[in-house]
Structure 1
């Protein structure tokens, strides 16, 4: 996976991609253009967190207070 593809998938900008990954834009800038498997896995995980329901990913069900 290319870094440009990851950027597009994670929001289209470096800032959006970094935020989705939970890192700073400066850290994202340091990524190589050809992402190694460990970074590809992080990109896929960030997309999964964005698109899949939390319960499917192991998040606890919301309490009544959180649902309100």
Structure 2
């Protein structure tokens, strides 16, 4: 995977990519143009975390938002 592609997938900026992975922007800036397998794995893991339901990751489920109709009908 190319560095530019990884950054694009993780938000489009070096800062957003760093935040998604949990590293500094300086670390992302030092990535080689062709990513190593270890860095590529971290990119893929960040993308997977973004799209998975929290309970599958062992995190508490996000509370469901109630629509206006549900609130009005609850009285």
TM-score (norm 2): 0.76
Rg comparison, structure with higher value: 2
Q: CA RMSD in A?
A: 1.8
1:43 alignment partner in structure 2: 43
* Gap runs ≥5 in structure 1: none
2:23 alignment partner in structure 1: 23
TM-score (norm 1): 0.83
In 2, Cα distance between equivalents of 1:33 and 1:56: 33
Which consecutive aligned stretches of 4+ in structure 1 deviate over 6 angstroms post-superposition?
none
Structure with higher RCO (Cα < 8 A, 6+ apart): 1
- Number of paired residues? 64
